[in-house]
Amino acid sequence: MKRHSVNGWRLLLLLGGLAGVVVLWGPSHAEHTAALHWMAGYTSAEGVGCCSERDCFPWPVALLQLTGDQATVRIGETVVQLPAKSVHVTQDGQTYWCCKTNLEGRCPAEPSKATTRCVFYAIGM
């Protein structure tokens, strides 16, 4: 009898932990979507929307140089040249990197020119 109650408690703890993960993920996901609604009208140089629910993240971004149709930006520690149409001024003061996701729908760990759809920089950075 005691063995069943121990296993029952383990199951309850496991299920409770899973429910907590779902609860914690839910608001974060919803807040991300609502907070970035202003990005809806922005597109990359290819004409693709800059941001969806899982590919834009707060990231250190600085505009280093803008010449004609090219922009040199620093994304974290990486300096890349991007089409100027993929580089935008942020509307909320936060800077963002919007990636091109892989087949699993995930962003790479580090930005590169090939994996960047858009960036949003703050004026004066």
pLDDT digits (tens, 9 = 90+) for 55-77: 999 999 999 999 999 999 999 99
pLDDT, tens digit (0-9, with 9 covering 90-100), for 9-62: 444 444 444 333 333 333 334 345 566 789 988 999 999 999 877 899 999 999
Sign of the Cα pseudo-torsion (110, 111, 117, 120, in order): positive
pLDDT at position 37: 87
* Beta strands 96-99 and 56-58, pairing class: antiparallel
pTM metric for this prediction:
0.71
Query: CA 66 → CA 10, 13, 52, 75, 125, distances in Å?
Result: 58, 55, 26, 15, 13
pLDDT tens per residue, range 74-121? 999 999 999 999 999 999 999 999 999 988 989 999 999 999 999 999
